[in-house]
């Protein structure tokens, strides 16, 4: 099938579920990882590097395998990345890096309708991460999906700035963004400006998509990284919101007439503090499987109750180390085929 994903909520037909294989914190740390993942840390010297603990990776892989089976049991076709060893060193003429992980396929590829876009990510250690997904993306391309890569960024030191942490650390020297900075509502695309996505990236995306789409730039919501722990549409006219970050003043006008589901305080799950850039709000990182069914991490009981009271069925998913690895059900998946349509959902 062609890739097809116009929204965050259409009935899911094909999906990539990430893997814990070879997951590590890069040993080579530069301005990029400091400004994107650890902007709040003064000194990277004390941070760990190399593989996450073996027992944690084994548990995570078991959780992801179980999640994949739950989706398959619902009739969804599941693909998995083909990871390469992250300890391998690679370089451009300007910098040297080792790899990160293949746990969050959401971050590196954006599906807009039938089009596959490999995004110009902000971390050097993830520069070649989409290679692990090419066997999936090529199948959709062969079926007729346009498949492009945004201009590969140089990721020079001058792109990153930690002088004012009240604003995004990613400057505008070149287009740069993670796919997880974007949420889709048919013809309307919402783009979060943050440490992992800059204004130049939003401009490039609008230029590429053309007049059939409107890219709404959100630059006053959340400066740290991705959008899917702040604003997440769950169905036409229903949106999940983070009350710590979203309010009446900064909520995009588009969503003001929608039913607003305010996420309850997340259950604070354990994590390895030195390894964990993820906040407790990873608990609201959920995946819509259809307009009525949502996958939620199983320990987030208040959120599960809230969603059920709002008319949703909930698939409970176990992701034991989602905070340490910075990825809930939405992050660890990439929906390549949904049963949905381009349109105006405002």
Among 92, 117, 91, 130, smallest CA distance to 201 is for 117
Distance from C-alpha of 24 to C-alpha of 12, rounded to nearest angstrom:
30
Among 298, 300, 332, smallest CA distance to 316 is for 298
DSSP class per residue in 15-70 = EEE-B-TT-EE-SS--HHHHHHT-TT-S-STTS--EEPPHHHHHHHHHHHHHHHHH
Q: Would you say how long the chain is, in residues? A: 346
Could you tell me which residues come within 8 angstroms of residue 177 by beta carbon, excluding any fewer than 6 positions away? 119, 120, 121, 122, 191, 196, 197, 198, 201, 202, 205
**Residue 233, SS3 per DSSP:** strand
Residue 199 among the catalytic residues:
no
Of 199, 226, 321, 330, the active-site residue reads: 226
Of 98, 178, 188, 340, the active-site residue reads: 178
Helix (H) or strand (E) holding 291: none
Residue 219 among the catalytic residues:
no
Residue 313 among the catalytic residues:
no
Could you tell me which residues come within 8 angstroms of residue 24 by beta carbon, excluding any fewer than 6 positions away? 49, 50, 51, 52, 86, 87, 98, 99, 100, 101
Distance from C-alpha of 51 to C-alpha of 57, rounded to nearest angstrom:
9
Distance from C-alpha of 139 to C-alpha of 146, rounded to nearest angstrom:
11
Q: Do 322 and 328 meet the contact criterion of CB atoms below 8 Å apart?
A: yes
* Tokens matching residue 9: 């909520």
Of 188, 331, 335, 340, the active-site residue reads: 331
- Positions annotated as catalytic residues are 178, 226, 331
């Amino acid at each position: 099938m062609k890739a097809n994903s116009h929204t965050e909520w259409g009935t899911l037909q094909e999906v990539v579920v990430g893997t814990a294989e070879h997951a590590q914190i890069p040993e080579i740390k530069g301005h990029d990882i400091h400004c994107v993942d650890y902007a709040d840390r003064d000194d990277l010297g004390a941070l760990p590097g190399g593989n996450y603990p073996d027992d944690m990776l084994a548990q995570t892989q078991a959780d992801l395998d179980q999640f994949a089976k739950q989706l398959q049991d619902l009739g969804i076709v599941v693909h998995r990345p083909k990871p390469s060893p992250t300890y391998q060193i690679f370089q451009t003429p300007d910098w040297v890096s080792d790899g990160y992980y293949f746990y969050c396929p959401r971050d590196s590829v954006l599906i807009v309708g039938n089009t596959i876009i490999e995004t110009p990510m902000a971390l050097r250690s993830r520069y070649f991460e989409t290679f692990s997904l090419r066997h999936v993306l090529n199948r959709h391309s062969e079926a007729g999906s346009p498949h492009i890569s945004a201009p590969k960024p140089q990721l020079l030191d001058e792109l990153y700035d930690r002088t004012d942490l009240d604003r995004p650390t990613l400057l505008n020297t070149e287009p740069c963004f993670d796919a997880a900075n974007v949420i889709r509502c048919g013809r309307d695309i919402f783009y979060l400006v943050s440490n992992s996505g800059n204004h130049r990236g939003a401009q490039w995306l609008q230029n590429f998509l053309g007049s059939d789409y409107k890219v709404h730039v959100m630059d006053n919501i959340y400066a740290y990284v991705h959008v899917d722990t702040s604003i997440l549409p769950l169905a036409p006219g229903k949106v999940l919101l983070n009350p710590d970050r979203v309010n009446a003043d900064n909520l995009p006008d588009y969503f003001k007439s929608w039913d607003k589901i305010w996420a309850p305080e997340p259950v604070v799950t354990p994590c390895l503090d030195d390894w964990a850039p993820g906040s407790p709000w990873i608990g609201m990182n959920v995946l819509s499987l259809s307009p009525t069914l949502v996958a939620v991490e199983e320990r987030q009981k208040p959120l599960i109750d809230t969603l059920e009271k709002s008319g949703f069925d909930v698939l409970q998913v176990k992701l034991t180390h989602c905070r340490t690895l910075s990825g809930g059900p939405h992050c660890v998946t990439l929906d390549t085929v949904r049963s949905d349509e381009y349109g105006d959902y405002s």
